[in-house]
Amino acid sequence: MPGPPPIQPPQLSPDGRYVWDGSQWQPIADPAQPVHKAVFAAWNSVQVEPADPAAAAQPVQFQPQVQPPMLVREPAPPVIDYAYEVDEPITPLWQEPTRSGKTNYLYAGAGLVVVVIAIMLLNSFNFFQFAWLNSSSSSPVVSPQPSPVVDQTRSEFGRADRFLNGSVGPALAGLVDTMQKMQTCNGTLSNSCYDAINATEPELKKVLAAIDHGTIPPCIAAPMKSFRADIVTMEAGIQLALKGYTDNQRGEVGNGLSQFAKGGQAMVADGRTADQALKNLCTKDLEGP
């Protein structure tokens, strides 16, 4: 880029006494000529030096500033929290649901426990050993010898025995049968498992009705109260398992069977307690005339 043109010297008149200021000629002071004196003598010695011509301005060269490139860091990967539980996806009824090892274990384990409880019910309680349990036996029936007829209702033991053997026992027969069929519950939403679960619910209601409509002697009242609560727990588990079939959720079915099995285990323990109370707490003394 070229610089500005050089400054030209002032234009003088031919006689050297005038200078052109751009609009008119101005006289140049002659030291030989007298000049006007200042009012104050001290001012006469003041000399005004002509100003130095301004130096030619040099253009400033543009120097672009180059900034170092910014370091861009990649964002950190998101932290995944594996502590929360993910709901099991709902599988349409027309598709085969994806099997989960945990669900299958819970499902099949609950079914196995239910079968074990059914076997324990058949073999553990003395008050379950009555005619309906031995009707399928092929052993010959020995006719009992005539014995004096005793009115069992006149003793506390007799009333408790009639309540357990005559009311609760027959109601439990159908429950034991449906519980044994639950061995088909092996982790899949099979029709056979559903049929066994669905058939168990009315049998539980029969047991509850037998307890509620019977007269419970005081000697077995406490264990039978717990026994009834266990039946209610089992019924709630059955309803949850049936809901799992409606929702097509194997985990829900497994939870229902586990709750049913838990109530069944407690029922076995309370049934044994009732059996011991029948033997040890119920008196056989006849009452009344």
Three-class secondary structure of residue 26 per DSSP? strand
Between 152 and 219, the more confident residue is: 219
Give percent above pLDDT 90 in the chain.
28
**Which residue, among 211, 174, 190, 161, has the nearest Cα to 257 in the 3D structure?**
190
CA distance 1 to 167: 120
Question: Is 116's pLDDT higher than 90?
Answer: no
Strand order in the sheet with 18-20: 11-12, 18-20, 25-27
Summarize pLDDT for 21-34 with one digit per residue, the tens: 777 777 776 666 65
| pTM for the model | 0.54
Question: Is 45's pLDDT higher than 70?
Answer: no
Between 158 and 12, the more confident residue is: 158
* Listed range (52-56, 59-63, 206-210, 211-215) with the worst mean pLDDT: 52-56
Q: How much is the mean pLDDT over the chain?
A: 72
Give the CATH number of domain 101-132+153-280; options: 1.10.260, 1.20.120, 1.10.3470, 3.90.220: 1.20.120
CA distance 164 to 150: 18
CA distance 77 to 27: 88
